[in-house]
Chain A
Amino acid sequence: MPEMLIRGGRILDPSQGIDQVDDLWIADDQIAGLGPPAVSRHQNSTQPIVVDATGCIVSPGFVDLHCHLRDPGFEEKETIATGTRAAARGGFTTVCCMANTNPPIDSRAVVEYVQRTAHVTGVVRVLPVAAITRHMAGQELVEMGELAQAGVVAFSDDGRAVGSSRIMRYALEYSKMVDRPIAPHCEDRDLVSDGVMNEGPVATRLGLKGWPATGEEIEIARDILLAELTGGRLHLCHVTTAGGVELVRRAKEKGIRVTAEAMPHHLTLTDEWVAGKRWDGRSAEPYDTNTKVNPPLRAEADRRALVAGLRDGTIDCIATDHAPHTLVDKQCEYDFAAFGLSVFETALGALLRLVQAGDLDLPTLVSRLTVDPARAYRLPYGTLRPGAAADVAIFDPSAEWVVDPSQFASRGRNTPLAGQTLRGRVLVTIAGGRIVHLADDRRLAQTPSVREHVR
């Protein structure tokens, strides 16, 4: 495999504190280093593949700790093949897929199915997350020892809360032996009941059943206390509320082992979107089921608190909760629609709004998408350090584009951002040294052998 040269971009690698215009070299599917042509460094006679990154940000490939690839069992929504291609388009080179498949990822056999399928059909790295409880039923722990050995990076019953405090305690205790985080979906089922959108004035106006912020915070508080009690590692899935951010902040001050993630949609959208608000000012019809997500889009005050938490590091990282669904799952009454959004392909463009609005600086955003999630799960990715896997995202932060779900690589077209203009687009994604996404052919200097390296 020839070397690869990514030329003239702004190299932004928060893992090393690098922010400079430079060339990036890749060799043997690893990051070789920065700097001028180094033929002497790499004794390779073939011409390098040259990617023109002028005017672009060159960042480590993004790491997503939370997505749903739906495979096995719900292949009509997404497969590992389509999901990883969607991830690649979004700049993600490592994705951790949640366990709520059918069968769920709660046995070595299913873990191996995901790994094998990803190896054969996927284009980015797929790291399975196993369930906390067998069949995600909340009753008995999965075989954490064997599953950790099989390669799962965390345990989560995401999509469902672990209702029992006792089982949650056991999970946090037991997981210490395998040193993997427990990543709960925090939702007090009794309090939330069948709520479908954020409880508040907007839900009142629309007559939809509220999903109160407190329903999330009660379980965040409980799980933080259990993490304190047990010393287990807790990673909180999709924090969405101001109160949740505050609980995490206090837990960290006390030295409790907790990390937390926030999602692009909760960082950029609010419950007003259910009532039809859109960025472009042309309001949409209310009750768009593509705004239905769990936890729900919250109030503006929550969104602001979440952004502040992301900025100061209380919220460690951004994850997508990419949750593709079919048209049938969504084309119905709001109450009956499936929860979840298709996020991979719009994540960066949406998040850059925070930078454009001055709420977050670009290095922090990139950090929260790369090295920070990698640290939370102790993964060796999200960095451009020499010797690291050659995972790179090259994006133009000022390229404008209109979201057209019919053009998604994902089978899930369920996004409320359809028709919205985003500024910032991933042009090239390199995963493990291979070009897995190329939005603009002109970025690639045409050498005869290049095509065979584009997957």
Chain B
Amino acid sequence: MNRRHVLDLDDFTADEIELVMQTTDAMKEVLARPIRRVPPLRGKTIVTLFYENSTRTRVSFELAAKNLSADVVNITASASSVTKGESLVDTIRTIQALGADVIVIRHSQAGAPYVVAQHLRGSVINAGDGWHAHPTQSLLDLYTIRERLGPVAGKSVVIVGDILHSRVARSNVWGMTRAGARVTLCGPATLMPPLGGDGLPPVTVDYDLDRALEGADVVMALRIQRERQTGGMLPSLREYVERYQLTPARLRRARPGALVMHPGPMNEGVEISPEVAYGAQSVIEDQVANGVAVRMALLYLLVGERTTELAAAPAPVGARR
């Protein structure tokens, strides 16, 4: 892969996405082994720098890096300390001086990974920045669809929920359309950002979930936050549930066997009913599992030692086989 950073999917070509998918296949094979550890990142240092809470994404990156034999340093920072005078740039310079090959950053401000990329000699992976992008989430979503339904091209994907504040929605609009899917964004009008023009690639917008679901191959529910009600954007969560909760009855409008996805963390009983979340069509746990493989693939493609094949790491001296 001819790139240094993964900041967004807007600059990924369809070929690059396919390369990530194929590399992920190889990583899945590694993960299926009894010893899930290969050496291509030996001697590399991966720093996860999280300015926002996250369980699955941080752990997923950490496991991915460790599976590739990298050293991992986890830093959790408070975004509030930035306003107290500790700047992001200072932090990056410090990490740079300590020696990092890759910084995986999660930040509540859109564009923060671009600031990091400008001040770091190594690679930057965006693990979510504000409302802007969450490229690795979209790549794992793409992989999960591909694994279950085959090629993503031509599939109909419905993303439902708080689109305005969702980096997952934005990255998936790029990723899914680049891979050839048709995307429908669905949610209340107050939570729908201005589209068209110089913005995101063309998508369909529908405020009516029942209609949007007709013939869908994939439906992805997004987390809805309570602040949207207190902020005046929603009359009540009750009405949201009424109109937008993904229920078994609604799901029947989609194509038989349509996949149910959610980037997590879920509000069960709000944007998704438990029956659907844990039902036969749900691939939510696959998403989490595939996350590790996709992130291994990206780390490998960005900084992996290409001469090293994905052979198993030599067993530690004295280990019994």
Cα-based distance from A334 to B200 in the complex (angstroms): 20
Interface 1/0s, chain A 330-364, versus B by CB < 8 A? 01111110000000000000000000000000000
A272 and B198 form a contact (CB under 8 A): yes
B130 and A201 form a contact (CB under 8 A): no
Sample of 24 A–B contacts (CB below 8 Å): A200-B197, A202-B198, A202-B199, A204-B170, A204-B193, A205-B10, A205-B200, A206-B111, A207-B131, A208-B110, A208-B111, A287-B114, A299-B197, A328-B87, A331-B115, A332-B87, A332-B88, A332-B89, A333-B82, A333-B109, A333-B112, A333-B115, A334-B109, A335-B111
> CB within 8 Å of A: which residues of B?
10, 82-83, 87-89, 107, 109-112, 114-115, 117-118, 129-133, 167, 170, 193-200
Interface 1/0s, chain A 191-232, versus B by CB < 8 A? 000000001111111111110000000000000000000000
A201 and B132 form a contact (CB under 8 A): no
The 3 closest A-B pairs by CB, nearest first: A201-B199, A207-B132, A287-B111
B82 and A336 form a contact (CB under 8 A): yes
B111 and A201 form a contact (CB under 8 A): no
Query: Nearest Cβ distance between residue B265 and chain A, in whole angstroms?
Result: 20
Pick the contact of B199: A204, A209, A328 (CB < 8 A).
A204
A336 and B109 form a contact (CB under 8 A): yes
Interface residues of A in 280-301 (CB under 8 A from B): 285-287, 299
Cα-based distance from A204 to B198 in the complex (angstroms): 9
* A275 CB within 8 Å of chain B: yes
Pick the contact of B170: A205, A210, A275, A287 (CB < 8 A).
A205
Nearest-neighbor residue (CB-CB) of B79 within chain A = A333
Of the candidates A205, A286, A336, the one having the most CB atoms from chain B within 10 angstroms of its own CB is A205
Cα-based distance from A206 to B131 in the complex (angstroms): 8
Q: Which residues of A contact B129 (CB under 8 A)?
A: 207
Cα-based distance from A204 to B82 in the complex (angstroms): 25
Interface 1/0s, chain A 292-321, versus B by CB < 8 A? 000000010000000000000000000000
Given the interface pairs A328-B87, A332-B115, the reply to whether A207 lies near B197 with Cβ below 8 Å is no
Nearest-neighbor residue (CB-CB) of A287 within chain B = B111
B199 and A205 form a contact (CB under 8 A): yes
A204 and B195 form a contact (CB under 8 A): yes
Interface 1/0s, chain A 166-202, versus B by CB < 8 A? 0000000000000000000000000000000001111
B132 and A206 form a contact (CB under 8 A): yes
Cα-based distance from A199 to B131 in the complex (angstroms): 14
Q: Which residues of B contact A336 (CB under 8 A)?
A: 82-83, 109
B133 and A207 form a contact (CB under 8 A): yes
A331 and B170 form a contact (CB under 8 A): no
A275 and B198 form a contact (CB under 8 A): yes
A333 and B111 form a contact (CB under 8 A): yes
Pick the contact of B198: A201, A286, A334 (CB < 8 A).
A201
Nearest-neighbor residue (CB-CB) of B166 within chain A = A207
Cα-based distance from A272 to B110 in the complex (angstroms): 16
Given the interface pairs A205-B200, A207-B129, A208-B132, the reply to whether A334 lies near B195 with Cβ below 8 Å is no
Query: Nearest Cβ distance between residue A243 and chain B, in whole angstroms?
Result: 15
A287 and B115 form a contact (CB under 8 A): yes
Q: Which residues of B contact A201 (CB under 8 A)?
A: 194-200
Q: Which residues of B contact A272 (CB under 8 A)?
A: 198
Of the candidates B115, B129, B167, B170, the one having the most CB atoms from chain A within 10 angstroms of its own CB is B115
Of the candidates A203, A207, A287, the one having the most CB atoms from chain B within 10 angstroms of its own CB is A207
B83 and A286 form a contact (CB under 8 A): no
Query: Nearest Cβ distance between residue A271 and chain B, in whole angstroms?
Result: 8
Pick the contact of B194: A210, A287, A331, A333 (CB < 8 A).
A210
Given the interface pairs A202-B198, A205-B10, A205-B170, the reply to whether A334 lies near B193 with Cβ below 8 Å is no
Cα-based distance from A286 to B199 in the complex (angstroms): 13
Given the interface pairs A286-B114, A332-B87, the reply to whether A199 lies near B109 with Cβ below 8 Å is no
A333 and B88 form a contact (CB under 8 A): yes
Cα-based distance from A207 to B83 in the complex (angstroms): 21
Q: Which residues of B contact A286 (CB under 8 A)?
A: 111, 114
Q: Which residues of B contact A204 (CB under 8 A)?
A: 170, 193-195, 199-200
Nearest-neighbor residue (CB-CB) of A208 within chain B = B110
Cα-based distance from A203 to B164 in the complex (angstroms): 11
Query: Nearest Cβ distance between residue B22 and chain A, in whole angstroms?
Result: 28
A332 and B82 form a contact (CB under 8 A): yes
A335 and B199 form a contact (CB under 8 A): no
Q: Which residues of B contact A328 (CB under 8 A)?
A: 87
Query: Nearest Cβ distance between residue B33 and chain A, in whole angstroms?
Result: 38
B194 and A200 form a contact (CB under 8 A): yes
Given the interface pairs A285-B118, A333-B82, A336-B83, the reply to whether A206 lies near B194 with Cβ below 8 Å is no
Cα-based distance from A316 to B13 in the complex (angstroms): 48
A334 and B111 form a contact (CB under 8 A): yes
Q: Which residues of B contact A203 (CB under 8 A)?
A: 193-194
Q: Which residues of A contact B114 (CB under 8 A)?
A: 285-287
Q: Which residues of A contact B193 (CB under 8 A)?
A: 203-204, 210
A207 and B110 form a contact (CB under 8 A): yes
Query: Nearest Cβ distance between residue B164 and chain A, in whole angstroms?
Result: 8
Q: Which residues of B contact A299 (CB under 8 A)?
A: 197
Nearest-neighbor residue (CB-CB) of B132 within chain A = A207
Of the candidates A199, A201, A209, A272, the one having the most CB atoms from chain B within 10 angstroms of its own CB is A201
Cα-based distance from A200 to B194 in the complex (angstroms): 5
Q: Which residues of B contact A205 (CB under 8 A)?
A: 10, 170, 198-200
Interface residues of A in 68-117 (CB under 8 A from B): none
B199 and A200 form a contact (CB under 8 A): yes
B110 and A331 form a contact (CB under 8 A): no
Given contacts A205-B170, A287-B111, A336-B109, 19 further A-B contacts (CB under 8 A): A200-B199, A201-B194, A201-B196, A201-B198, A204-B170, A204-B193, A204-B200, A205-B10, A205-B198, A207-B111, A207-B129, A208-B131, A286-B111, A332-B88, A333-B107, A334-B110, A334-B111, A335-B109, A336-B82
Cα-based distance from A331 to B111 in the complex (angstroms): 12
B89 and A331 form a contact (CB under 8 A): yes
Q: Which residues of A contact B196 (CB under 8 A)?
A: 201
Q: Which residues of A contact B194 (CB under 8 A)?
A: 199-201, 203-204, 210
Query: Nearest Cβ distance between residue A281 and chain B, in whole angstroms?
Result: 16
Query: Nearest Cβ distance between residue A81 and chain B, in whole angstroms?
Result: 28
Q: Which residues of A contact B132 (CB under 8 A)?
A: 206-208
Query: Nearest Cβ distance between residue B8 and chain A, in whole angstroms?
Result: 9
Cα-based distance from A299 to B112 in the complex (angstroms): 24
Cα-based distance from A204 to B83 in the complex (angstroms): 25
Q: Which residues of A contact B89 (CB under 8 A)?
A: 331-332
Q: Which residues of A contact B199 (CB under 8 A)?
A: 200-202, 204-205
Cα-based distance from A286 to B88 in the complex (angstroms): 17
